[in-house]
């Protein structure tokens, strides 16, 4: 998007950063090259959106913060690196926009965000709930992210909506677990019937049920839902 490469966060509204990591992937890897590919393609993005009548570059100060450090082959070490590198961005009150990377990286980001804001509401559009206990013997993997997040107290599942779930999956329990954890789960067929308007209202209703003594701002709530997940097969 031709944003300047800046690591000084003073006066910055939003920081785009890459997490070039795909070790926690069961099938086809390559999402480690996602940040590079998204940046390359973004050269064509133009800042004015005619429907919303907003020039995002004039309205906000957006910078390219570069890539966060990762350790290919080592998920847990990468989590620690992401937590360390992301904390100053979040502490500075800068809106974080991640370019992934496989789904597993979301857990590290939630650890940083929940430390500052408490349990978050998740608004997820995805084909899978990512609430398995383990996969290929791995507890920290691209299909286990949101079970770990609830277990670690990073998400308020009752304020969260997972929509677009569709098969084929391994078993009925694939979606059952997500519901047992408290998530509102909307399968693909339901979402199509629901339509954009009613889906939006449902999201507002769930997210709006959250405690308001903490002045949670809109951007912080939605963050986990805007991750650009590129580890699809």
Near a second copy by CB under 8 A, which window of 38-46, 87-95, 112-120, 215-223? 38-46
Give residues with Cβ within 8 angstroms of 166, minimum separation 6. Answer: 127, 187, 188, 189
Does the protein bind a second copy through residue 179 (CB under 8 A)? no
By DSSP bridging, strand 95-99 and strand 123-125 are unpaired
Near a second copy by CB under 8 A, which window of 116-124, 132-140, 145-153, 198-206? 132-140
Does the protein bind a second copy through residue 74 (CB under 8 A)? yes
Among 137, 196, 212, 213, binds a second copy (CB under 8 A): 137
Question: Please, which residue, 24 or 114, has the CB nearer to a second copy?
Answer: 24
Distances (CA, A) of 88 to 10, 85, 116, 118: 11, 7, 11, 17
Does the protein bind a second copy through residue 48 (CB under 8 A)? yes
Question: Please, which residue, 45 or 208, has the CB nearer to a second copy?
Answer: 45
Residue 228, strand partner residues:
99
Question: Please, which residue, 22 or 156, has the CB nearer to a second copy?
Answer: 22
Closest C-alpha to 105, from 129, 140, 150, 73: 140
Q: Please give the DSSP secondary-structure letter assigned to residue 52.
A: T
Count residues binding a second copy (CB under 8 A). Answer: 48
């Amino acid at each position: 998007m031709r944003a300047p490469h800046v690591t000084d966060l003073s006066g910055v509204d939003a920081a785009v950063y890459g997490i070039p990591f795909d070790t926690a992937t069961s099938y086809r890897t390559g999402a480690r090259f996602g940040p590079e590919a998204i940046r390359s393609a973004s050269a064509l993005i133009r800042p004015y959106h005619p429907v919303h009548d907003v020039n995002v570059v004039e309205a906000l100060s957006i910078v390219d913060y570069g890539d966060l450090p990762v350790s290919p082959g080592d998920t847990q070490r990468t989590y620690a690196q992401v937590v360390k590198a992301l904390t100053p961005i979040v502490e500075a009150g800068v809106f974080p926009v991640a370019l992934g990377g496989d789904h597993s990286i979301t857990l590290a980001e939630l650890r940083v965000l929940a430390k500052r804001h408490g349990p978050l509401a998740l608004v997820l559009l995805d084909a899978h709930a990512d609430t398995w206990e383990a996969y290929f013997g791995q507890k920290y993997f691209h299909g286990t992210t949101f079970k770990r997040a609830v277990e670690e107290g990073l998400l308020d599942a009752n304020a969260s909506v997972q929509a677009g779930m569709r098969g084929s999956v391994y078993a009925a329990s694939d979606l059952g677990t997500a519901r047992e954890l408290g998530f509102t789960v909307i399968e693909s067929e339901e979402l199509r019937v629901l339509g954009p308007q009613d889906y939006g209202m449902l999201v507002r209703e769930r997210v709006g049920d959250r405690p308001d003594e903490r002045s949670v701002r809109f951007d912080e709530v939605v963050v986990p839902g805007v991750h650009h997940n590129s580890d699809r097969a």
